[in-house]
Amino acid sequence: MSSSILADQRTDELIAAYKEHFGAEPTHISSGPGRVNLIGEHTDYNEGFVLPVALKRDVRFAFRPRSDRQVRLFSLEYGETYEFDLDSFAFNDAMLWANYVQGMAWSLEQLGIPLTGMDAALSGNVPRGSGLSSSAAVEVGAAHAFLAGSGQLGHLSGPQIARAAQRAENEYVGVNCGIMDQFISVLGRENHALLIDCRSLTYELIPMPAEASLVIGNTRASRSLASSAYNERRQECETGVALLEPMLPGIRALRDVTSAQLEEHKAVLPATVYRRCRHVVTENERVLQTVEAFRRNDLVTVGQLMNASHESLRDDYAVSSAALDAMVEAMRSVPGCYGARLTGAGFGGCAVALVQPGAEQAMADTIFEQYPKATNIWPEVYTTRASDGARVVEIH
């Protein structure tokens, strides 16, 4: 996000709303992008590998620091205002969006970062509840606003900001998310994916070829099963590790198990637990194979690995849905599609396709034609490339 964000219509509208609401000029714009995970699903809580990219969709804050400890917020999407004091945080059941901002301030203060108050207007175009991580985008945009407004921006590294944002969501908001969403929102880079080792939190930027374009299809289907099934899958993975450990001493998580080892010892696992473990073990291998394929500029292989990931999520992990399968089928039917898969926890939300540049519109048209016939739901389609992570720009 260079200064070009200042010459952007969304920013113009945000600044205008700030002026109207607060009767003054903002001094800065901060931005936290959403993300889409290319491959590596349900591997994060098994200490494995993930490969997300930051989106060209973000949550932006127009803000001005204050000399006191008051924080005044105005959300354009909700048309709501919220105020709190940095000396007295209070979770608000009626205004959930404000808790992500409050939680971020709380988390930074817990680290001993001295914050000052601010007036801020915020607006985002990351679809909510779609699995593209609008919550991390709010947290990361807020983190950069608080740090810049308090003159503390250089005091935390990117991974430290990501961990503070994850803590805000885990401990303040009460959502038990992994680290991937906040990590990529902070550390993403244009035309790069980010390989994250969820055990060590080491990471590496992986260049994406110019001929790699992404189309995201939002099923807009209910994700009501996602949270209970998520806890169930986690438990099944832990059961698998406990049953394999006597044969494979020293393993801590499924990340430590190879496909060959899993096949050798499958007899000790109940059938369902074996299938869950097979997804995670093979998915970790697919992430590393995808990175190697990107390095060779081999998008055909990347597409095949994405396809195999979807099949594994559907058949072994059982987290797909009729809506997601219909979306993926529509995507794969388009010439120029290398591969497509569900992305995120599953049961609804989004699918992502890797396509040749120039095929994006044909894919959107095909989705709008085929998907509603299969599901009676009108989808949303977004075209994107891998984008930069969080930024703060001063308004001159």
Confidence of residue 280 (pLDDT cuts 50, 70, 90): very high
Q: Which of 44, 181, 316, 388 is catalytic?
A: 181
Lowest mean pLDDT among 112-121, 174-183, 198-207: 174-183
**Rounded average pLDDT over 296-318:** 97
Model confidence at 367: pLDDT above 70: yes
Element (H, E) at 381: strand 380-384
How distant, in Å, are the alpha carbons of 243, 255, 336 from that of 280?
16, 8, 29
Domains in the chain with CATH codes? 3-209+387-394 (3.30.230.10), 213-384 (3.30.70.890)
The DSSP call for residue 69 is: S
Q: At what angle do helices 158-167 and 134-149 cross, to 10 degrees?
A: 120
Name the residue type at position 258: T
Average confidence score pLDDT of the chain: 93
Contact 109, 152 (CB under 8 A): no
**Rounded average pLDDT over 242-246:** 97
Instruction: Select from 228, 104, 113, 223 the least CA-distant residue to 173.
Output: 104
**Rounded average pLDDT over 16-27:** 96
Query: In degrees rounded to 5, what are phi and psi of residue 282?
Result: -70, -30
Q: What pLDDT, in 10s, does the model give residues 63-74? A: 999 999 999 999
**Rounded average pLDDT over 285-311:** 97
Query: What global pTM score does this model have?
Result: 0.91
Measure the CA–CA gap between 124 and 13, rounded to whole angstroms.
Answer: 12
Q: What pLDDT, in 10s, does the model give residues 376-395? A: 999 999 988 888 999 999 99
CA atoms within 13 Å, Cβ hemisphere of 212: 27
Measure the CA–CA gap between 47 and 199, rounded to whole angstroms.
Answer: 5
Q: What pLDDT, in 10s, does the model give residues 88-114? A: 999 998 898 999 999 999 999 999 999
User: Residue 7 CB: number of other CB atoms within 10 A?
Assistant: 9
Measure the CA–CA gap between 31 and 142, rounded to whole angstroms.
Answer: 8
Model confidence at 1: pLDDT above 50: no
- Catalytic residue status for 181: yes
Place of tokens 């994250």: 196
3-state helix, strand, coil split of the chain in percent (to 5) is 45, 20, 30
Query: In degrees rounded to 5, what are phi and psi of residue 279?
Result: -60, -50
**Rounded average pLDDT over 277-288:** 98
State residue 375's pLDDT score: 96
Name the residue type at position 296: R
How distant, in Å, are the alpha carbons of 46, 244, 254, 262, 302 from that of 241?
10, 5, 6, 10, 29
**Rounded average pLDDT over 136-149:** 96
Measure the CA–CA gap between 199 and 257, rounded to whole angstroms.
Answer: 14
Name the 3-class secondary structure at 151. coil
Confidence of residue 209 (pLDDT cuts 50, 70, 90): confident
The DSSP call for residue 198 is: T
Name the residue type at position 114: P
Phi-psi region at 349: left, alpha or beta (left = phi > 0; alpha = psi -120 to 50): left
Q: What pLDDT, in 10s, does the model give residues 340-355? A: 999 988 888 899 999 9
pLDDT > 70 in the chain, percent: 96
Name the 3-class secondary structure at 20. helix
Beta strand 203-207 with 192-197 is antiparallel
Measure the CA–CA gap between 352 and 328, rounded to whole angstroms.
Answer: 8
Give start and end residues of each alpha helix (H) in the chain.
9-22, 96-110, 134-149, 158-167, 180-187, 226-244, 259-264, 271-295, 299-315, 322-332, 360-375
Instruction: Select from 158, 31, 173 the least CA-distant residue to 101.
Output: 173
Name the 3-class secondary structure at 216. strand
Confidence of residue 2 (pLDDT cuts 50, 70, 90): very low
